[in-house]
Amino acid sequence: MRCFPTILLLMLGGWLATRAAEPRPNVLLIVVDDLGYNDVGFQGGGDIPTPHLDRLAASGVRCSDGYVSYPVCSPSRAGLLTGRYQRRFGYEFNPKWDATAVTHGLPLSESTIADSLRSAGYTTGAIGKWHLGAHPQFHPNRRGFDDYFG
């Protein structure tokens, strides 16, 4: 069976804030390295069974025309999480995993989708590879995510 390295599985939402007056949708964003368009069942692929992903796709909103904005993983992830073209804030590299490097990570001046969702009353979480800085100031829990496992 063919495997694809998963970079980041972001689970955004899941639980509504207790103060919410009306239900809001849960948000689940899955990011995968080297996944081809036709590698999953809901896109027509049949080589690898993906029944759970197929079920999620059938019951939710599918964004099928997304493209990465950089050829390596960390800048692409930075662009996705900030909603900005990462070159505009100088993030064009895969940082070395170095917990002493205070400048090698997603700039602290940039807000993430998790920051926005948290402000809207969502509980946020991230699971998987972070690769947006190893210094504690870049940790997902300091970048808008309530929970992180990776």
Distance in angstroms (rounded) separating the CA atoms of residues 54 and 43:
9
Distance in angstroms (rounded) separating the CA atoms of residues 99 and 97:
7
From the list 63, 73, 104, 135, the catalytic residue is 73
Angle at 20 between CA 19 and CA 23, to 5 degrees: 150
- Whether 73 is catalytic: yes
From the list 52, 63, 104, 131, the catalytic residue is 131
CB 42 within 8 A of CB 53: yes
Residues with catalytic annotation? 73, 131
